Chain A
Amino acid sequence: MVKKIPIGPYHPILEEPEFFELIVDGERVVDIEMTIGWSHRGIELLSEHKTWDQIPFLVERVCGICSASHPYAYVKAVEDLLGIEVPLRAQFIRVIVAELERLHSHLLWTGLAGHFIGYNTVFMWAWRYREPLLDVIEAVTGNRNHYATYRVGGVRRDLPAEEIPNILKLLEVIESKNSMLTKAILDDPVIHARTKGVGVLPRNKCREYGALGPTARAGHYDIDGRRDHPIDAYDKVNFNVIVCETGDVFDKAVVRQLENFESIKIIRQCLEQIKDTEPGDIWTEIHEVPPGEGHGMYEAPRGEVFHYVRSDGGNTPLRHKIRAPSFNNILTNEVSVPGNTVADAGLITAAVDPCYSCTERVGVVDSQSGSRSILTEADLIRLSQEKTERIRKRLARSRLGV
């Protein structure tokens, strides 16, 4: 019997509202329809009423997690219009803050994914180690999120020399704990059984749908703006772009876990090289923004953030277009969700790391009788965790030979 299962617009493991309607045949999803726009805030139009220097404060509130990525892409767009370079010290500070953000974002996702499949220990660990990271970000920028660091022409705040040993010390801790988490994920047969082959997004579909970030790289679509369109100090550091083969949920987790090591590597190189720059030289003064247009991209934790600005020579933009990576990545669920079970659907939609909300409603609609029943948020998680438990028991029995 074909049924429709609406998920959302509120969902327990995701930070912003989204609405998915699953069309299912028994346990199998045959199609998915998505509705976005539940918290459309009109930020692009708001931006047209802010001065060029005020806008970074606005756009870092597009997303609480990507509060470095949006201002980064915005200032690069304006600097593209202006055709200016920023001081080397500011370039390093920008990259350090952005990579610290990537670390905390990936750890946050790992924790949520662990919770969703019933591995609350992973959830506790990942969030436990994210916390000192946020402390360091606070020490460097003045805030745990919404860093107010980026400005057109440079950064607003210098990196205090006394913070560098603290950051290096923390990176050692994060590196060792990330190794432990990565090993736990890569070696766990239950996680393999639960996530491998689930929600596959092949390379050709990544390209057709414009998938970005870890969602694309998990499917062997080898794009990374930090390497392909290097901005600021990214061409002064060495790092690897992590690419997997199949594009399933497991690969998406692996990409994020391994990228944490690359972020640590990048931050260390920046901290080493920033010692050779002049303290205080963090800003190129901008007097006016001439008529013209520019666009800026930055490889955020979820994928490339894109900002386009157009100026008529005034003190505000004539047009400011923002494209967050989730806008492209959520659309890929059209490909990755059908063919999987209802218990996996939540996991697959979460695997692109979209911004979702903390509450959830799930309704089941019988397309033939028209009857509708609402499930609570606990029901969808329960479905997912029960499936993990079944797999765990099955693997345990097979090991015991019973």
Chain B
Amino acid sequence: MEREEAKKRIAERFGGNVQVAERSPRRVYVYAENDVWVDLASFIFNDLDGRFDTGAAVDDRDGVEVMFFMQFDRDNYTITIKTFAQKPNPALDSISNAIPGAKWIEREIFEMYEVDFRNHPDLRPILRADTRPEDFYPAKREIKEDHETPRGRDDGVARADEVAGKPLKGKNP
């Protein structure tokens, strides 16, 4: 389905519950309210014949931005659908019952960001080792800030305080 036609049909079907934006001829973004999230994904997959590709999430301070990528192979463009799962308990309805291929990526987003996908057929961690604590969600902003070095620091490059001769933390002076 051509891009303009797809955008028009999404706007007609979901009205004010979605915002459609376009960054380039190959990239369309649809921002959706939580309430219409599953309907939107199903509509693009079933009615517009989009191909489900995969999903991703980004942790914002106030919630988790969840996105799924739907490909339109014959017309060479992607529709990215996005929604925002509000903290402190981010939750969304699962699209896995409509699109079985989303099962694993929803499990991954749950495991990494603690997004509760309601009605998921089997929502349990998919990648973590058995020994990892149950409440440890490694990609959550709060966890990352507690456990990681600041972003942008290359381990091979000494910091200014190291160059200045200050002892490294954890090492004998």
A315 at the interface (CB under 8 A from B): yes
User: What is the CB-to-nearest-CB distance from B131 to chain A, in angstroms, rounded to a whole number?
Assistant: 12
Residues of A contacting B153 in the complex (Cβ-Cβ under 8 angstroms)? 49
User: What is the CB-to-nearest-CB distance from B50 to chain A, in angstroms, rounded to a whole number?
Assistant: 10
Partner of B151, one of A44, A211, A316: A316
Q: Report the separation of the CA atoms of residues A308 and B104 in the bound assembly, to the nearest whole angstrom.
A: 17
Interface residues of A in 263-310 (CB under 8 A from B): 295, 297, 304, 306, 308, 310
Binds B, one of A35-43, A61-69, A195-203: A35-43
Residues of A contacting B101 in the complex (Cβ-Cβ under 8 angstroms)? 208-211, 328, 331
Residues of A contacting B138 in the complex (Cβ-Cβ under 8 angstroms)? 42, 45
Q: Report the separation of the CA atoms of residues A37 and B149 in the bound assembly, to the nearest whole angstrom.
A: 24
Q: Are A40 and B128 also in contact (CB < 8 A) when A321-B56, A327-B104 are? A: yes
Partner of A48, one of B54, B71, B129, B151: B151
A228: nearest residue on chain B (CB-CB)? Answer: B73
A387 at the interface (CB under 8 A from B): no
B69 at the interface (CB under 8 A from A): yes
Query: Do B149 and A323 have beta carbons less than 8 Å apart?
Result: no
Query: Do B74 and A306 have beta carbons less than 8 Å apart?
Result: no
Residues of A contacting B154 in the complex (Cβ-Cβ under 8 angstroms)? 49-51, 54
Partner of B56, one of A80, A225, A228, A319: A319
B94 at the interface (CB under 8 A from A): no
Q: Report the separation of the CA atoms of residues A318 and B139 in the bound assembly, to the nearest whole angstrom.
A: 12
Q: Report the separation of the CA atoms of residues A110 and B71 in the bound assembly, to the nearest whole angstrom.
A: 30
Residues of B contacting A321 in the complex (Cβ-Cβ under 8 angstroms)? 54, 56
Residues of A contacting B37 in the complex (Cβ-Cβ under 8 angstroms)? none
User: What is the CB-to-nearest-CB distance from A345 to chain B, in angstroms, rounded to a whole number?
Assistant: 20
B89 at the interface (CB under 8 A from A): no
Query: Do A306 and B69 have beta carbons less than 8 Å apart?
Result: yes
Residues of B contacting A54 in the complex (Cβ-Cβ under 8 angstroms)? 154
B172 at the interface (CB under 8 A from A): no
Residues of B contacting A319 in the complex (Cβ-Cβ under 8 angstroms)? 56, 58
Interface string of B91-102 (1 = CB under 8 A from A): 000000001111
Partner of A228, one of B27, B74, B105, B128: B74
A207 at the interface (CB under 8 A from B): yes
B103 at the interface (CB under 8 A from A): yes
Residues of B contacting A323 in the complex (Cβ-Cβ under 8 angstroms)? 53-54, 105
Partner of A331, one of B58, B74, B103: B103
Interface residues of B in 53-94 (CB under 8 A from A): 53-54, 56, 58, 69, 71, 73-74, 76, 78, 80
A83 at the interface (CB under 8 A from B): yes
A314 at the interface (CB under 8 A from B): yes
Q: Report the separation of the CA atoms of residues A331 and B102 in the bound assembly, to the nearest whole angstrom.
A: 10
Q: Report the separation of the CA atoms of residues A40 and B111 in the bound assembly, to the nearest whole angstrom.
A: 13
Interface residues of A in 197-242 (CB under 8 A from B): 207-211, 223, 225, 228-230
Q: Report the separation of the CA atoms of residues A42 and B126 in the bound assembly, to the nearest whole angstrom.
A: 13
Residues of B contacting A306 in the complex (Cβ-Cβ under 8 angstroms)? 53-54, 69
User: What is the CB-to-nearest-CB distance from B83 to chain A, in angstroms, rounded to a whole number?
Assistant: 15
Residues of A contacting B164 in the complex (Cβ-Cβ under 8 angstroms)? none
Residues of B contacting A334 in the complex (Cβ-Cβ under 8 angstroms)? 100
Residues of A contacting B53 in the complex (Cβ-Cβ under 8 angstroms)? 210, 297, 304, 306, 323
Query: Do B126 and A229 have beta carbons less than 8 Å apart?
Result: no
User: What is the CB-to-nearest-CB distance from B80 to chain A, in angstroms, rounded to a whole number?
Assistant: 8
A306: nearest residue on chain B (CB-CB)? Answer: B54
B51 at the interface (CB under 8 A from A): yes
Residues of B contacting A316 in the complex (Cβ-Cβ under 8 angstroms)? 151-152
Residues of B contacting A51 in the complex (Cβ-Cβ under 8 angstroms)? 152, 154
A36: nearest residue on chain B (CB-CB)? Answer: B126
Known: A48-B151, A80-B27, A297-B71. 10 other contacts (CB 8 A): A37-B126, A37-B128, A40-B128, A80-B26, A207-B51, A229-B76, A318-B58, A319-B58, A323-B105, A328-B101
In the complex, 15 of the A-B residue pairs with CB atoms within 8 angstroms, ordered by the A residue number, are A36-B104, A40-B129, A44-B139, A45-B148, A80-B27, A83-B24, A208-B99, A208-B101, A210-B54, A210-B102, A228-B71, A228-B73, A229-B76, A295-B78, A297-B53
